[in-house]
Structure 1
Amino acid sequence: MDPLLLLMVLLWSSEFARLVRGASRCAGTLEIKHLGEWRPVDMSDWTLKTSAVFCEHLDCGSAVSVEERKESAGRSVWMINSDCAQSGAALGECVISGSSSSIVDFTCSGESMIGSNVPG
Structure 2
Amino acid sequence: MDRLRQRADFLAVANGARVNSPAFVLQSRLRDDGGPIRIGFTVTKKNGNAPVRNRIRRRLRELVKRVDPVSMQPHHDYVLVGRRDALSRDFATMLDDLRIAFTKPARHTHRDRGPRHPGPGPVPAASRKPD
TM-score interval (norm. to shorter): 0.3 to 0.5
Higher strand share: 1
Q: Which structure has the bigger radius of gyration?
A: 2
* TM-score with structure 1 setting the length: 0.33
* TM-score with structure 2 setting the length: 0.31
Higher helix share: 2
